[in-house]
Amino acid sequence: MGNIRVALAQLNSVVGDLEGNVKRVQEVLPHLKNCDLALFPEMTLTGYPLEDLVLKPGFVADSRKAVEKIASKSESCALVVGFADTGPNGEVYNAAAVCHQGEIKGIYHKRELPNYDVFDEARHFSPGDQPLQLFRINGVNVGIVICEDIWVSKGPAEELIQMGAELLVAINGSPYDNTKVAAREELVTTLAASSQIPVVYLNLVGGQDELIFDGGSMISDPNGNILTKTSRFYEETFLVDIDTPNIESPSFTDQLDHDWCIQISEPNERSDNYPHFVTSPLTPEAELYTALVVATRDYVQKSGFTDICLGLSGGVDSALVATIATDALGADHVHPILMPSRYSSDHSLKDAQELTERQGLVPQIIPIENTHQSFHDLLTPSVGDELPGFTDENLQARIRGVLLMALSNAFGWLVLTTGNKSESAVGFSTLYGDTAGAYAVIRDVYKTKVYELCRWRNEQEDSPVIPENILTKAPSAELRPDQRDDQRLPPYEILDPLLEAYIEGDRTRAELIKDGFQQELVDQVVKMVDLAEYKRRQTPLGPRVTTKGFGRDRRLPVVNRYDG
């Protein structure tokens, strides 16, 4: 039986910030004096995903310099650090360097490149093709892989096990969705049990554009039991001692004579012990809400902003976005703008003001009636006294969008939009109006889930932060007299399951009807979703929290006449 002390550094890297990411790794190094092996996430030094940054040879060269800088600071603890590497003919690799005593002892190039869902790695990287290596650290044979390498059957992870690995470690940049935690745990525990060796899974944390990395790093013992599980969504570094079995394989006794097993450090005796621990799981609501808070905080701050503004209507969507922003950034950095029109109800204005009072926000009230009338007067010679169709409704939304963007220009505030996934799906939004802004916080959250999150957030406080009236009144855009959402849309309790089946489930119209959805409803909703594709292509990105968010996940042609 062997033993190895491993540090798992669950870091929040910033894409492209090579200097800052080097500093983040260096800040961990003083805490590794008694460690044998320290793991850092996939693409630690570059951030992840890099997208077309990898097409810049200068950036990849700078990435190599960054890992060499880290290697020069390495001491008795071996460091596994993710970075972008280059080959002799200009190939770019998703790579992990093993650094020890001031040197790079070995480099592993990721072999399995995901090219599905949100991933485009086959576009950006070449697959690794060098011979696999084991690293003998503190007397333990360690196999190192990167993320997708452990998801592929008969891939590099299994090859390393066959070579005599006594511990398998995987560094990851695995993005969050509402199904991922269970899938990861099953993967790691199944691999450990089938191989009869411990498996260490380290994941990135933080928000990057549409993606959220949720940490949740873990260690499974050889029986498939989770020994250690870290916190979700937040940075932390923890140390743990792992017992490893001695693997008897045909090549084990003489493997140190081969170049595929690199001696890093000799065994050493220790009297102390770092035990395993398992953090408490989050409820689905806590998990989703925390993901949205982290995504909002990181998008704003990593983009170089400190403050945001948003239109606060007194409705449930803007109430949730304001609450998330306040939790992410602090009340002093959130600027709610109330822009009532002739159609705004007194209770909505009061509800919005009450929310700001409960959360310590300072609102600005900018009535749009005079501007609305002026635009109406300007249009009368062209279209007549009665503006046709949705012209008047959209006009109000666009006035509000203009005001928010003007405040953004004046004060350097980033604008958050407040539309949910149900509305975005069916086109229940106004281009250049309520879609005007930089970040759509609840873009991937269905309307029914919006209510669930609001109620969950209220339950976390002695005094609810979102007024009850916001949660009980009928949803309305308040762009015409006595308007309600259910005058144009089915009730959200009926609409959302159909949307989820069509969007996440990729069901066709015929399949939805076969599934039991009413034909008339299917025809109406499918048509609305398809027609709104051009709108969604012009709206801000937002955090992806389901298995198929609009954007990176779902890429349908805008012009599309398939009606099956």
Please tell me the predicted confidence (pLDDT) of residue 249: 54
The encoded tokens of residue 495 equal: 């609409």
Pairing of strands 308-311, 334-338: parallel
Contact 333/412 with Cβ under 8 angstroms?
no
Angle in degrees, CA 513, 514, 518, rounded to 5: 30
pLDDT tens readout for residues 300-329: 999 999 999 999 999 999 999 999 999 999
More confident residue, 230 or 564: 230
**Where do the structural domains in the chain lie, given as residue ranges?**
2-279, 285-485+532-536
pLDDT tens readout for residues 281-293: 999 999 999 999 9
pLDDT tens readout for residues 365-424: 999 999 999 999 999 999 888 888 788 889 999 999 999 999 999 999 999 999 999 999
Q: Give the position of tokens 């690293």.
A: 135
Percentage with pLDDT > 90 across the chain: 80
Please tell me the predicted confidence (pLDDT) of residue 258: 53
Contact 408/436 with Cβ under 8 angstroms?
no
DSSP H or E segment with residue 80: strand 78-86
Active site residues: 42, 110, 147
CATH number of 2-279: 3.60.110.10
Radius of gyration of the chain (CA): 27
Please tell me the predicted confidence (pLDDT) of residue 341: 84
pLDDT at 256 over 70: no
CA-CA-CA-CA dihedral for 256, 262, 263, 267, to nearest 10: -90
Contact 545/450 with Cβ under 8 angstroms?
no
285-485+532-536: which CATH number, 1.10.520.10, 3.10.310.10, 3.40.50.10470, 3.40.50.620?
3.40.50.620
Confidence of residue 555 (pLDDT cuts 50, 70, 90): confident
pLDDT at 478 over 80: no
pLDDT at 108 over 90: yes
Closest CA to 245 of 277, 227, 221, 210: 221
Q: How far apart are the first and last CA of the chain?
A: 60
C-alpha distances (whole Å) from 261 to each of 136, 144, 223, 252, 477 are: 7, 12, 26, 10, 65
* Residue 34: how many other CB atoms lie within 10 Å: 14
Please tell me the predicted confidence (pLDDT) of residue 563: 76
State the average pLDDT over residues 70-90: 95
Report the sign of the C-alpha dihedral through residues 313, 305, 458, 419, in that order: positive
Which residues, other chains included, contact 384 with Cβ-Cβ below 8 Å and sequence gap of 6+?
A: none
State the average pLDDT over residues 526-551: 94
Report the distance separating Cα 416 and Cα 426, nearest Å.
Answer: 20
Q: Give the position of tokens 């850092």.
A: 40
Please tell me the predicted confidence (pLDDT) of residue 408: 97
E-assigned strand segments in 275-407: 308-311, 334-338, 364-365
State the average pLDDT over residues 491-518: 94
pLDDT tens readout for residues 115-136: 988 898 989 999 999 999 999 9
Report the distance separating Cα 485 and Cα 227, nearest Å.
Answer: 49
Please tell me the predicted confidence (pLDDT) of residue 33: 81
More confident residue, 259 or 426: 426
> How many residues in total does the chain contain?
564
- What residues pair up with 464 in beta bridges, in sequence order? none
C-alpha distances (whole Å) from 503 to each of 160, 405, 499, 544, 553 are: 39, 31, 6, 14, 10
Across the beta sheet with 103-109, the strand order is 103-109, 92-100, 78-86, 37-39, 2-10, 236-244
More confident residue, 433 or 555: 433
Please tell me the predicted confidence (pLDDT) of residue 253: 44
Please tell me the predicted confidence (pLDDT) of residue 261: 72
State the average pLDDT over residues 60-71: 97
Please tell me the predicted confidence (pLDDT) of residue 386: 86
Question: What is the reported pTM?
Answer: 0.93
The encoded tokens of residue 325 equal: 């922003």
Contact 271/297 with Cβ under 8 angstroms?
no
Report the distance separating Cα 517 and Cα 491, nearest Å.
Answer: 14
pLDDT at 270 over 90: no
Confidence of residue 538 (pLDDT cuts 50, 70, 90): very high
Q: What are phi and psi of 318, to 5 degrees?
A: -65, -30
State the average pLDDT over residues 13-24: 97
Question: How high does pLDDT run on average in the chain?
Answer: 92
Angle in degrees, CA 187, 283, 277, rounded to 5: 60
pLDDT tens readout for residues 201-243: 999 999 999 999 999 999 999 999 999 999 999 999 999 999 9
Confidence of residue 476 (pLDDT cuts 50, 70, 90): low
Closest CA to 167 of 219, 237, 225, 110: 219
State the average pLDDT over residues 475-489: 66
Contact 204/41 with Cβ under 8 angstroms?
yes
Please tell me the predicted confidence (pLDDT) of residue 557: 83
Lowest mean pLDDT among 125-139, 250-264, 411-425, 488-502: 250-264
pLDDT at 469 over 50: yes
Q: Give the position of tokens 């963007």.
A: 405
Percentage with pLDDT > 70 across the chain: 95
Please tell me the predicted confidence (pLDDT) of residue 484: 65
Closest CA to 447 of 269, 283, 275, 315: 315
Chain centre distance of CA 349: 33
Report the distance separating Cα 443 and Cα 543, nearest Å.
Answer: 7
pLDDT at 347 over 80: no
Confidence of residue 552 (pLDDT cuts 50, 70, 90): confident
Confidence of residue 344 (pLDDT cuts 50, 70, 90): low
Across the beta sheet with 439-440, the strand order is 364-365, 334-338, 308-311, 414-417, 439-440
Please tell me the predicted confidence (pLDDT) of residue 282: 94
Q: Is the peptide bond before 49 cis (omega within 30 degrees of 0)?
A: yes
More confident residue, 251 or 79: 79
Please tell me the predicted confidence (pLDDT) of residue 387: 84
